Amino acid sequence: MANVSLVNVEKTYPNGFQAVKRFNLDIRDGEFIIFVGPSGCGKSTTMRMIAGLEEISSGELWIDGQLANFLEPGQRELSMVFQNYALYPYMSVYENMAFGLRVHKVERSEIDRKVRETARMLQIDHLLDRRPAALSGGQKQRVAIGSVLVREPKLLLMDEPLSNLDAKLRSQMREELAKIHRRFSSTIVYVTHDQVEAMTLADRIVVMKEGEIQQIASPNEIYNNPVNQFVAGFIGSPSMNFLPVRSGVENGNYFLQAGESRLAIPALLAKRIKDQGGFGKELILGIRPEDLHRKKEMSESAGQTGGELQMKVMVREGLGAEVLLHGEIAGENACVKLDPSCGTRPGETIALVPDMTKIKLFDAQTGENLLYLSLKR
Ligand code: ATP
């Protein structure tokens, strides 16, 4: 277990490219932290700086209260699992797992106990005598993780550890990683492209864009209270719908106008928008596919006070438990998630009512979420 702090950490590569800017993060003991963001946003660079594989250009890295900028990787008491995990092909699974402990001159009986216990936990105890060539991708990955876990690292760094696996194995390994984290309570820093991994495994997610942190928060908060349009659009699948809207007031009633459609704004929401100086600005309405409902399904209690959006349906995607309809609302691409009993077909136009308690409003110029609730910690 370890605390890790990054204070104003920056990375400029020798060619002058600044890959990480003003990175500030306090990772608590035992926390599972996940870095997400588009390709090239600096996730791996940050991870490699923590590992000691990349020099820190400026700022401070603290591991357990010790300034770690100049510590060799081996002195940082951390372990790494990468996408392309390496196993020794001529050693058995047992020997692969025992190798790191042997190097550290751990007693033979202690090695045996740790290897067998870890193997049992990862459900690879029946594979201990096999060579890596006789293992499936998922089994190899478990052995790779096992060889790291036997050493009980204080800090575990994982860079896309599951990305080589097929969907089913990935989901199994995801569950196992969650168990491993609970069981070992190691501090884990994890990089992924996979939103489901981030949403299900992380205590906190760090969303990055172009080398900068956009938001650090729990998966729920990131999903429900994104700081800006980038985070809102990046997290969630299918992504949040965005519609340019005009805000206005008529006869004392506040409304949002999206193309031909007009949505009434409930009084409390109107006050929040007013307090944020939102009226009169160009705004982007953000609404998740599951927060749009067929007109007849919508109840008064869900925050609806009037108005609907017309969606021209172009594609119907049946997913079993739900159906996704893709099409256009007010000329913008849009998607709605409905009950599979919905019989709508491509070519039809349907009336949708947004749950006004769930909508987001972004400043069209800055992308900032006007309805962001700043939670004091
Ligand atoms: P991905 O998800 O594609 O792995 P990432 O978020 O992990 O991306 P990094 O690998 O950290 O991104 O790279 C961040 C940026 O730094 C990228 O634009 C990359 O091209 C650049 N970069 C990485 N290594 C070097 C290097 N040695 N010299 C110059 N630029 C580099």
pLDDT computed for residue 377 by the predictor = 46
Which residue, judged by its Cα, is nearest atom 16 of ligand 1?
A: 19
Asked whether residue 87 falls in the same domain as residue 199, the answer is yes
pLDDT computed for residue 139 by the predictor = 85
pLDDT computed for residue 168 by the predictor = 80
Asked whether residue 214 falls in the same domain as residue 354, the answer is no
Asked whether residue 66 falls in the same domain as residue 194, the answer is yes
CA of 269 relative to ligand 1 center, distance in Å: 41
Domain end point (choices 175, 195, 228):
228
CA of 256 relative to ligand 1 center, distance in Å: 41
Give the residue among 242, 285, 281 at the shortest CA–CA distance from 265. 285
Give the residue among 328, 336, 366, 332 at the shortest CA–CA distance from 245. 332
Asked whether residue 223 falls in the same domain as residue 240, the answer is no
The total domain count for the chain is: 2
Query: 374 in a domain, yes or no?
Result: no
Asked whether residue 82 falls in the same domain as residue 100, the answer is yes
Query: 371 in a domain, yes or no?
Result: no
Domain end point (choices 170, 198, 228):
228
Q: Which range of residues forms the domain containing residue 197?
A: 4-228
Which residue, judged by its Cα, is nearest atom 22 of ligand 1?
A: 19
CA of 40 relative to ligand 1 center, distance in Å: 5
Which residue, judged by its Cα, is nearest atom 21 of ligand 1?
A: 19
Which numbered atom of ligand 1 lies nearest the CA of 11? 16
pLDDT computed for residue 162 by the predictor = 83
Mind spelling out the 3-state secondary structure of the chain? CCCEEEEEEEEECCCCCEEEEEEEEEECCCCEEEEECCCCCCHHHHHHHHHCCCCCCEEEEEECCEECCCCCHHHHCEEEEECCCCCCCCCCHHHHHHHHHHHCCCCHHHHHHHHHHHHHHCCCHHHCCCCHHHCCHHHHHHHHHHHHHCCCCCEEEEECCCCCCCHHHHHHHHHHHHHHHHHHCCEEEEECCCHHHHHHHCCEEEEEECCEEEEEECHHHHHHCCCEHHHHHHCCCCCCEEEEEEEEEECCEEEEEECCEEEECCHHHHHHHHHCCCCCCEEEEEECHHHEEEHHHCCHHHCCCCCCEEEEEEEEEECCCCEEEEEEECCEEEEEEECCCCCCCCCCEEEEEECCCCCEEEECCCCEECCCCCCCC
CATH of the domain at 137: 3.40.50.300
Asked whether residue 120 falls in the same domain as residue 147, the answer is yes
Asked whether residue 242 falls in the same domain as residue 223, the answer is no
Query: 376 in a domain, yes or no?
Result: no
Each of the 377 residues of the chain gets a pLDDT tens digit; together they read 589 999 999 999 999 999 999 999 999 999 999 999 999 999 999 999 999 999 999 999 999 999 999 999 888 888 888 766 778 999 999 999 999 899 888 899 999 999 999 898 888 999 999 999 999 888 888 898 888 888 888 899 999 888 777 788 788 888 888 888 887 778 999 999 888 899 999 999 999 999 999 999 999 999 999 999 999 999 998 999 999 999 988 888 899 998 888 999 998 899 999 998 888 889 999 999 999 998 875 554 444 457 899 999 999 999 889 999 999 999 999 999 999 888 889 999 999 999 999 999 999 999 999 999 876 44
Which residue, judged by its Cα, is nearest atom 2 of ligand 1?
A: 39
Asked whether residue 45 falls in the same domain as residue 170, the answer is yes
CATH of the domain at 243: 2.40.50.140
